[in-house]
DNA sequence: GCTAAAAATCAACAGTTTGTCTATAAATCG
DNA sequence: CGATTTATAGACAAACTGTTGATTTTTAGC
């Protein structure tokens, strides 16, 4: 889809994206001005407006790149029948590990809730069927269970990103998968006695 | 602690806080200017700077009010020995229900990650001991489990706030408590066979 | 390599918001 | 009531914004 375009375009946008990621490590997104960013990466301010409308539009572009990457890898083995959720988790943790800087900014203290929401939606829409097939669960309260699990995974992710030299992506994918799996299983078994 | 101060001060700050909550329903916090807010509530711009340094400082004040309210209720029955987590959940869901407008803004799509983090920390620091006592869990991976559960609760909260005429706070507290409880229990039972 | 096209730079512009300042009017509490 | 505190009003320089037009540089395709 995305044409490769002019080399200058690719270079400029990469500079701006990396520059924003760098600035976001020192201050929150709302404090970052266009002028400050273009000074940082030594690009003319007019050039910025040639590509983006404002800082948030640039951030959107960065998020889209990440999302595209994740979606592409997920799609690449969607025909795998079993272990769907585990392999999706592995993919996501791996990609995030490769983009640690920007991801810790996006998911951290001064992060972007909309991005987190998109992440949750992706996991939910691609991974939940896997669990639905294993447990026959009633429609109603399962909604809360899904929200719980997806946000829970983000929480693990957040914790993982906040520590240096942390566990490898594969380990994290395992922990996340097992936790969600057991949570669903417990929910399934305990549903009749504890809820409603 | 908080002196009641002058009536004018209370009135002005309340106006600004309500005005921001109202504006946050239509646009994200970063797009809201001081000028726009004072026009909305018909207060002189100089007056705003008499109380707050900027919009984010005002938001901080709002969050602090909420946090104080939650902490006060939690403290009020900390001497209760059992069912600690459940009663904390009930308190929190009740207070949030009473402040639905501002809470859905803070936790929603364009919300404030720092606020969410504070909420998770409160639940974790006040409610986790309750679970620790019931399950003897190893120190290490339990950290991820705690993050998972706390973020999971926020996820439920988010889902709950996003729907009109939703379940009563007591019901939600029950669902959240049971989900966390069973997740921990499953984690405890399955730990040896599934992780590490 | 040459050339037409595209992109980056530069300087300048009006418009807005910001934060601070003074002086003045109004409201509060004792 | 009267002293004190707070809100208002207007003005100010400073910074950032978003756009424009003219110019230079780089690119892709032949």
Q: What pLDDT, in 10s, does the model give residues A6-33?
A: 999 999 999 999 999 999 988 888 889 9
Q: Which residue has the higher pLDDT, A187 or B80?
A: A187
* pLDDT recorded at residue B2: 53
CA of A102 to C1' of C2 (A): 43
CB-based contact A179 B110, cutoff 8 Å: no
What is the CA B21 to C1' C25 distance in angstroms?
30
Q: The domain B55-194: what is its CATH number?
A: 1.10.357
| Distance of B95 CA from D25 C1′ (whole Å) | 61
Q: Say what the pLDDT of residue B183 is.
A: 83
Tell me the per-residue pLDDT of B32-83, one tens digit each, with 9 for 90 and over.
999 999 999 999 999 999 999 999 999 999 999 999 999 998 888 766 655 5
Residues in chain A with CB shorter than 8 Å from the CB of B144 are 156, 159-160, 175, 179
pLDDT of residue B116: 95
Q: Do A158 and B150 touch (CB under 8 A)?
A: no
* Cross-chain residue pair B195–A185, CB shorter than 8 Å: no
Question: In chain A, what are the domain boundaries?
Answer: 60-194
- The 3-state secondary structure of chain A reads CCCCCCHHHHHHHHHHHHHHHHHHCCCCHHHCCHHHHHHHHCCCHHHHHHHCCCHHHHHHHHHHHHHHHHHHHHHHCCCCCCCHHHHHHHHHHHHHHHCHHHHHHHHCCCCCHHHHHHHHHHHHHHHHHHHHHHCCCCHHHHHHHHHHHHHHHHHHHHHHHCCCCCCCHHHHHHHHHHHHHHHHHHHHHHHHHHCC
Q: Does A34 score more than 80 pLDDT?
A: yes
Cβ–Cβ contact A179 with B under 8 A: yes
Strand C contacted by A11 CB (< 7 A): yes
């Amino acid at each position: 889809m995305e044409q490769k375009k002019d080399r200058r375009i690719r270079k400029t946008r990469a500079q701006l994206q990396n520059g924003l990621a760098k600035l976001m490590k020192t201050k929150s997104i709302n404090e970052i001005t266009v002028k400050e960013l273009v000074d940082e990466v030594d690009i003319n301010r007019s050039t910025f407006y040639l590509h983006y409308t404002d800082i948030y539009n640039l951030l959107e572009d960065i998020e889209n790149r990440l999302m595209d990457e994740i979606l592409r890898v997920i799609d690449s083995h969607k025909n795998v029948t079993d272990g769907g959720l585990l392999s999706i988790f592995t993919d996501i943790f791996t990609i995030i590990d490769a983009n640690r800087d920007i991801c810790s900014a996006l998911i951290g203290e001064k992060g972007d809730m909309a991005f987190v929401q998109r992440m949750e939606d992706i996991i939910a829409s691609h991974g939940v069927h896997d669990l639905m097939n294993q447990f026959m669960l009633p429609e109603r309260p399962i909604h809360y269970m899904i929200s719980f699990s997806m946000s829970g995974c983000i929480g693990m992710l957040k914790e993982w990103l906040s520590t240096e030299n942390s566990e490898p992506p594969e380990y994290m994918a395992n922990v996340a998968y097992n936790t969600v799996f057991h949570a669903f299983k417990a929910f399934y078994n305990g549903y009749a006695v504890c809820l409603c």
